[in-house]
């Protein structure tokens, strides 16, 4: 069965894919792992992974989705079969669906924290509060299972309600309005940080590259995050690609999405680190980074209560548009077996919800899910997708499906997909296993 629904235009697709890409990965995770892995050199490796691995794989994912016009499992097995190759390639899609489920488990918990900070902002919990008390606020939240349980459940429920209604209706429109506002707020925070933070210390931390600080684990995490932040390696972008209008150019679209995602992550980091250094916080303090630095900014800002409320609401919405794409591949797949969309959505989300509860009670579960998905499952999925498109499918058929002509752009992509991406991923894996 194929779908004939397409996004209204290339731009709507860009917005939806950007909605998937831009999320907690940019605003919460990127700054805090940059802090943990020492700054500049880590950022540089991350940027190189986006360019040399992420972008080529993203083009491949959208191409497969558009050519297959189905969920990731069926798109991949169908394309494989059509070229006389094995239909077992569908298994890559299945592993991706599992990865999406596992990511959703901890993602919804963090999104729940953001919701809690909406409530905190409204009640003025961090207004005129010293930095150490603001830090204590976050620890208090981590200690409260019931509070986390509440917000995590709310987030799962909202996500499921939207996905149950079908993806093409809601997402495009909301992203269209909210992304620019979110970006505007990040610029506001950047301005605050510039005026009130130790801006130059922040910039030095983020952009001075000292490769002696770079462990092999840092390289693995940088690559894993490139996949995570662009929503790659698990079929989210592939599933959206199924609705990509038939004739538009994939290459330019992908560059736009990757650029937006990268700029938002960098701006988030540049808004937070100057505040870290001005308030004697440590850059490597972990997952609480955003929930400590930004309230410090809002607590001292005129209108901080209002701005804080809106900002954390926007972060929650950005998380929502990403979470939707985490479960969409699985839901689309279940639908193919005749299970009604609302039923498949709510059962799928229920599993993620239960996993999230485990994350709330056991920090190790949270960390393990985060680590395994981003650093192992997504890069592995990306590797398989690169091998599928770059090696299992034939060049003429890929060239036809991807619609980038046969010029220099196509040739660069084809080279990156066949050589740079797979070799890079494998080398980084081996390196982190201390095999090379
Ligand atoms: N890209 C999202 C973010 O940065 C997370 C995500 C990963 C979404 C994988 C979908 C698939 O927050
Ligand atoms: Na992202």
Tens digit of each residue's pLDDT (9 = 90 or more) over 368-426: 999 999 999 999 999 999 999 999 999 999 999 998 888 899 999 999 999 999 999 99
Does ligand 1 have an atom closer than 6 angstroms to the CB of 106? no
When pLDDT is averaged across residues 8-30 and rounded to a whole number, the result is: 88
User: What interhelical angle do 378-387 and 216-229 show, nearest 10?
Assistant: 70
Ligand 2 centre and the CA of 25: distance in Å?
A: 5
Phi and psi based region of residue 152 (left: phi greater than 0; alpha: psi -120 to 50; beta: remaining): alpha
Does ligand 1 have an atom closer than 6 angstroms to the CB of 111? no
| Residue 124's pLDDT band (cuts 50, 70, 90) | very high
Q: Where are the alpha helices (DSSP H) in 336-404?
A: 341-361, 363-372, 378-387, 395-402
Mutational test site, ligand 1, from 19, 33, 228, 329, max ligand atoms within 8 Å of CB: 228
* Positive or negative torsion for Cα 185, 190, 192, 197: positive
In which residue are the tokens 């996905």 written? 163
**Which has the higher per-residue pLDDT, 54 or 332?**
54
Does ligand 1 have an atom closer than 6 angstroms to the CB of 314? no
> Ligand nearest 236 Cα, by number?
1
Q: Can you tell me which atom of ligand 1 is nearest the CA of 261?
A: 4
276 membership: H or E segment, kind and range: helix 250-278
ipTM > 0.90 for the complex = yes
Q: What pLDDT, in 10s, does the model give residues 269-312?
A: 999 999 999 998 999 999 999 999 999 999 988 889 999 999 99
Does ligand 1 have an atom closer than 6 angstroms to the CB of 103? yes
All residues at 6 or more sequence positions from 132 whose CB lies less than 8 Å from its CB, including other chains: none
Question: Cβ distance 287 to 112 under 8 Å?
Answer: no
Task: Kindly list the domain boundaries of the chain, sorted by start residue.
Answer: 10-432
Instruction: Tell me which residue of 34, 47, 26, 170 sits closest to 110, measured CA to CA.
Output: 26
| Residue 11's pLDDT band (cuts 50, 70, 90) | confident
SS3 content of the chain, % helix, strand, coil (to 5): 80, 0, 20
Lowest mean pLDDT among 162-171, 204-213, 334-343: 162-171
Does ligand 1 have an atom closer than 6 angstroms to the CB of 108? no
When pLDDT is averaged across residues 4-24 and rounded to a whole number, the result is: 79
Q: Can you tell me which atom of ligand 1 is nearest the CA of 233?
A: 9
Dist CA 93 CA 233 (whole Å): 9
Q: Three-state SS string across 108-141, please?
A: HHHHHHHHHHHHHHHCCCCCCCCHHHHHHHHHHH
- What token pair was written down for 125? 């919990």
Q: Using the predicted structure, report yes or no on whether residue 204 has a pLDDT greater than 60.
A: yes
Ligand 1 centre and the CA of 141: distance in Å?
A: 24
Dist CA 76 CA 64 (whole Å): 7
- What token pair was written down for 274? 């100057």
CA distances in angstroms from 257 to 14, 59, 144, listed in the order given? 6, 11, 37
Q: DSSP state, 70?
A: S
Ligand 2 centre and the CA of 84: distance in Å?
A: 35
Question: Cβ distance 108 to 155 under 8 Å?
Answer: yes
Average pLDDT of the chain, as a whole number = 93
CA distances in angstroms from 253 to 11, 57, 79, 246, listed in the order given? 8, 13, 22, 13
Q: First vs last Cα of the chain: how many Å apart?
A: 46
Dist CA 117 CA 125 (whole Å): 9
Strands, DSSP E only, in 136-211? none
Backbone angles phi, psi at 416, to 5 degrees: -60, -40
Q: Using the predicted structure, report yes or no on whether residue 52 has a pLDDT greater than 70.
A: yes
Q: Fold for 10-432, please state it.
A: Hydantoin permease (1.10.4160)
Mutational test site, ligand 1, from 16, 18, 20, max ligand atoms within 8 Å of CB: 20
- What token pair was written down for 221? 């995490």
Question: Is residue 2 classed as helix, strand or coil in its secondary structure?
Answer: coil
Does ligand 1 have an atom closer than 6 angstroms to the CB of 369? no
Q: Angle CA(322)–CA(88)–CA(390) in degrees, nearest 5?
A: 70
Mutational test site, ligand 1, from 231, 261, 266, max ligand atoms within 8 Å of CB: 231
Question: Cβ distance 329 to 343 under 8 Å?
Answer: no
Instruction: Tell me which residue of 388, 357, 359 sits closest to 373, measured CA to CA.
Output: 359
């Amino acid at each position: 069965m194929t779908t004939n629904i397409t996004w209204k235009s290339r731009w709507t697709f860009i917005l939806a894919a950007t909605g998937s890409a831009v999320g907690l990965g940019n605003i919460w995770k990127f700054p805090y792992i940059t802090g943990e892995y020492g700054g500049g050199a880590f950022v540089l490796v991350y940027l190189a992974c986006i360019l040399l691995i992420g972008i080529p794989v993203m083009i491949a994912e959208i191409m497969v989705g558009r050519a297959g016009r189905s969920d990731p499992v069926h798109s991949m097995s169908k394309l494989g079969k059509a070229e006389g190759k094995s239909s077992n390639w569908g298994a890559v899609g299945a592993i991706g669906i599992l990865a999406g489920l596992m990511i959703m488990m901890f993602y919804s918990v963090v999104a729940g924290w953001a919701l809690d900070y909406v409530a905190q902002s409204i009640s003025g919990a961090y207004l005129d509060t010293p930095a150490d008390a603001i830090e204590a606020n976050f620890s208090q939240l981590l200690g409260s299972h019931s509070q986390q349980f509440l917000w995590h459940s709310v987030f799962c429920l909202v996500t499921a309600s939207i996905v149950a209604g079908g993806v093409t209706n809601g997402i495009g429109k909301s992203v269209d309005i909210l992304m620019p506002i979110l970006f505007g707020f990040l610029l506001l925070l950047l301005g605050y940080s510039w005026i009130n933070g130790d801006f130059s210390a922040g910039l030095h931390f983020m952009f001075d590259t000292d490769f002696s600080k770079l462990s092999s684990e840092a390289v693995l995490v940088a690559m894993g995050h490139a996949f995570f932040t662009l929503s790659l390696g698990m079929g989210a972008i592939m599933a959206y690609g199924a609705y990509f209008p038939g004739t538009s150019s994939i290459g330019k679209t992908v560059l736009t999405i990757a650029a937006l995602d990268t700029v938002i992550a960098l701006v988030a980091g540049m808004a937070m680190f100057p505040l870290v250094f001005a308030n004697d916080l440590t850059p490597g303090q972990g997952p609480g980074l955003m929930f400590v630095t930004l309230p410090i900014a809002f607590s001292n800002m005129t209108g901080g209560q209002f701005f804080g409320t809106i900002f954390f609401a926007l972060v929650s919405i950005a998380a929502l548009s990403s979470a939707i794409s985490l479960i969409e591949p699985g839901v689309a797949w279940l639908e193919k077996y005749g299970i009604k969309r609302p039923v498949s959505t709510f059962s799928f989300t229920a599993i993620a919800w239960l996993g999230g509860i485990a994350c709330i009670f056991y920090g190790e579960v949270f960390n393990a899910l985060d680590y395994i998905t981003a650093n192992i499952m997504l890069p592995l999925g990306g590797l398989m997708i690169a091998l599928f498109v770059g090696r299992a499918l034939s060049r003429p058929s890929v060239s036809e499906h991807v619609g980038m002509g046969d010029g220099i752009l196509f040739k660069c992509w084809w080279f990156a997909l066949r050589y740079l991406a797979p070799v890079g991923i494998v080398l980084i894996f081996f390196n982190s296993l201390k095999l090379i």
